[in-house]
Amino acid sequence: MAERRATPPRSPRLETERRRRGCPVPGEAEAAAAAMALRQPPSSGATPTVPSGPASSISLKQINIFLMHEQAVQKRVQWVSTVKKNAIWAKTHERNARRVLNLMIELEGLWVKMGQYLSTRADVLPEPYINVLKQLQDSLPPRPFEEVRGTIEKELGKPMSDLFADFDLDPLATASIAQVHRATLADGREVVVKIQHDGVKEIILEDLKNAKSLIEWIAWAEPRYDFNPMIDEWCKEAPKELDFNHEAENTRTVSKNLSHKADSGSGSISSAVDVLIPEVIQSTEKVLVLEYMDGIRLNDNDSLEAYGVDKQKLVEEITRAYAHQIYIDGFFNGDPHPGNFLVSKEPPHKPILLDFGLTKRISKSMRQALAKMFLSCAEGDHVALLSAFAEMGLKLRVDMPQQAMDIATIFFRQSTTASEAKENIKALSDQRERNVKALQDKMKLNKKEVQRFNPVDAFPGDAIIFMRVLNLLRGLSASLNVRIVYLDIMRPFAESTLLGSLTHGLNSQWIYDSPANSDVESKLRDYLIELGSDKILGIQICAYKDGKVIIDTAAGMLGKYDPRPVQPDSLFPVFSVTKGITAGMVHWLVDKGKLKYEETVANIWPKFGTNRKELIKHASGKKFQEVLEEAIVRPLHIEGELYIGIPPGVESRLAALTVDTEELRKLSGIRAGPDVPPELLNNIAQMASGVPVLFNTLNVRRAIIPAANGHCSARALARYYAALARGGSVPPPHSASSKPPLGSHVHAPKFPTAPFKKKKGTEKKKGGSSTGNLQDASNTDKNGYSQLRTSDATEDEAGAGSASRIFSSDKILDAFMGVGEYQSMIHPNGKFGLGFRRYNNPSGKLRCFGHSGMGGSTGFCDAENDFAIAVMVNKMSLGSVTRGIIRFVCEELGLPVPDEYSATGEKGPDMLLNLAPPQQLR
């Protein structure tokens, strides 16, 4: 950016046209004007030549007057009362708004488009600016009629007298690109004729070129204000407005889409939109003839009141129309300012949609990503939001999911009225300051550095106009003084986009495409399809028999609002299943001589009673995650697929939780057990629905909770129990047909995008790393996850992954189940051994153990029959799906069904959401 930029070539015709209308010509007083517009020069480094462009088109005198007046008022109002201060600012805003209006009218082209946009933002701009700038929507000075006549006759190839029986010389509206006249065709039809201004195409194209230069200059001076993706998208889309043939075709397309009533695909969503769109009669590049529709302008408040228009209902209908265009059709009008709408005078006063020159077409995948972004904000689901960003092509340079959620939610927040503009601006400013402070703390930057840091690495062009539309709709509701709850109005359309493909039943494609490992697995897949999407959202099942994989199946979706398929390496939250993993770590410490079963915790950790209960850390001298990797993950080659508290970088593989509300209804009328208060069951559905909301947030998922916050794949957990079933012997490698291969992921990945690079000379030498790095140079990240090491790995560490046994004790199975010499250590006749849930077989033998989790996920092994199985689900229920699957598999293999999963046996508490007496739920 330091090289000198050539001044864009000037068009003599364009300069003549600008001077004829009294407009400044680009290039005059350019350096001073641009510097004044930015208020300050770049902070350091070589300054590029200030580009000629929009800022340079504004005379230095006009800018100086504007800025000096604002500064004078700021000093003046410091010493007056609040009432007088408000009056002074009201007059100042009105005076400056008129200056801005006159300047934009002079400049024409892109500046009028900017003014139109600003005139809609009643939610963030003072009222005087809105009242004055709204003239730019359709009340600009009209062009001479001779110019209009010349364009019509040249474009349509006939004299006006042959084309029209009547033509109104006074335009209905004049806007930035064209003006509209009412007319009557020779056949008597009432029409409006839209005529493009002479010379406006050259002006806008020149303005776009200059705007691009100015944006690049700003991005160089202040990297956090890099608006290049926005101007690039605008440069791509805006010229399409200059060809009215495009607008005619766009109008026909939107009209067809919004009037479509078919039941397939979007279903009832289509009939939820009730708007009017004029018919296209004829079009050329610069002339468009449309059906005349008699309507009220949105800025004509007196007429709206006189006709009894329900403004709330009106804006809700417009919002529904845009939700349909964006999420259902993938083809939407990108310019919903008030000048592009009318309201029919006849009840029920439907919105009339006009001007489809600036439209945007987006792919099905982008529609789904935008819908997922919307719904993830509605649900507070950080995982779905980050995956939506990835699918959109939006890349971040920093791992701050909560701040990402806060920023994304701003676009879908409830609209505010114009009277709340000041409070709205303050709230947004406060939010921005909080985010900047969080970014500064996260990246360890000083104030100067954080001002130059842009947390966005790449921004998708397709999302630019989408966000512009949301802001314009927000401004529209503020202008009409109504509140719109976007999360309620737009939600059905977003849900239809994500979930519509699932309404036609399931088939073999619902199962992840991988070869079956056995006849049992083929039959199981048919059984899953029979269960259907009513019972299953997403699921993984993996089973080992005699050390070999016999089942490795994934099916369904990652989340209710995440239609990506579940894959073998997807990570499911498993709640109390985690206890069985943590128990294995404790047994490993005993086996290594770090602990004794008989020893009290206080002997190892005297402060246990008053401080956090980090037993494993105090016993081993290592962090929890390091012990997990050393004891279980590396020996079993399950890197990247078994965590207790996830690290940053695995979010794209996470399954999101939801609740099976139908199954929860079974609890209505159930008699509460002696230890369960009756009022608890009365509110069970509401309570259960809150669990996914909490555990779908990344701050919870990243917490290290040894008893309840495991995230794993079924194949990783099944391999773990297959090893335990053999007393710790590591099974042969997992099935080669399972893709991606088990253990192929980096266990503790670094954040994928590059960290902020400080300027030369600012790096700190401590430890050989810069404080600007996302992670320090130590072998563990901020969450305690050990980083993969190669050259500095010790011999013991290098050999850990190839160990043939996890445990050396030949009595480890007895310890797991609390039998033999360990029997005195457990509760007599209890359901638990030393950390594992014990399951009785019909024969009464205690050779099965494992642990289930709240909502249905489970893992266990049958040591007597050398069998292990894991089932992961993300649709939380009372466990009926999981029990049915395990019974199906065991019966097919001729194995005894543990009582936890049998039709008549006693159910453990974890699988049942811990809310109802087990004996009442078969």
Residues annotated catalytic, as ranges: 335
d(CA 297, CA 344): 9
How is 212-274 classified by DSSP, letter by letter? HHHHHHHHHH-GGG--HHHHHHHHHHGGGGG-HHHHHHHHHHHHHHHH---SSTTGGGGGG--
d(CA 713, CA 742): 10
Q: Write out the two tokens for 284.
A: 């050329």
Q: Write out the two tokens for 556.
A: 């369904």
Which contiguous run of DSSP H or E holds residue 65? helix 60-76
d(CA 564, CA 570): 10
d(CA 265, CA 254): 17
Residue 740 preceded by cis peptide, ω within 30: yes
The answer to whether 886 and 869 are in contact (CB under 8 A) is yes
Crossing angle of the two packed helices 60-76 and 82-107, in degrees rounded to 10: 170
Q: Write out the two tokens for 851.
A: 């642990």
The answer to whether 331 and 303 are in contact (CB under 8 A) is no
d(CA 337, CA 546): 68
The answer to whether 287 and 195 are in contact (CB under 8 A) is yes
Q: Write out the two tokens for 61.
A: 């005198």
One-letter amino acid identity for 563? P
Nearest to 112 by CA among 123, 124, 100, 122: 100
Strand pairing report for 858-862 and 848-852: antiparallel
Q: How far is CA 192 from the centre of its chain?
A: 42
Nearest to 907 by CA among 916, 896, 898, 918: 918
The answer to whether 410 and 428 are in contact (CB under 8 A) is yes
With b for 16 or more beta-carbon neighbours within 10 A and e for fewer, the 777-809 pattern comes to eeebbebbbbbeeeeeeeeeeeebbeeeebbee
Extended beta strands in 397-537, E state: 456-458
The answer to whether 226 and 216 are in contact (CB under 8 A) is no
| Burial class of residue 867 in the structure, from the number of CB atoms within 10 Å of its CB (0-12 exposed, 13-18 middle, 19+ buried) | buried
Residue 710 pairs in a beta bridge with 644
Residues written for the chain = 922
d(CA 116, CA 335): 10
Query: For the chain, what is the radius of gyration of the CA atoms?
Result: 34
φ/ψ (deg, to 5) at 34? -65, -40
The answer to whether 524 and 884 are in contact (CB under 8 A) is no
Q: How far is CA 28 from the centre of its chain?
A: 44
Q: Write out the two tokens for 212.
A: 């691009």
With b for 16 or more beta-carbon neighbours within 10 A and e for fewer, the 416-434 pattern comes to bbbeebeebeeeeeeeeee
Which contiguous run of DSSP H or E holds residue 304? helix 301-306
d(CA 724, CA 726): 5
For residue 805, what is the DSSP state?
B
Nearest to 856 by CA among 645, 697, 688: 688
Which contiguous run of DSSP H or E holds residue 563? strand 562-565
Nearest to 891 by CA among 909, 913, 869, 906: 869
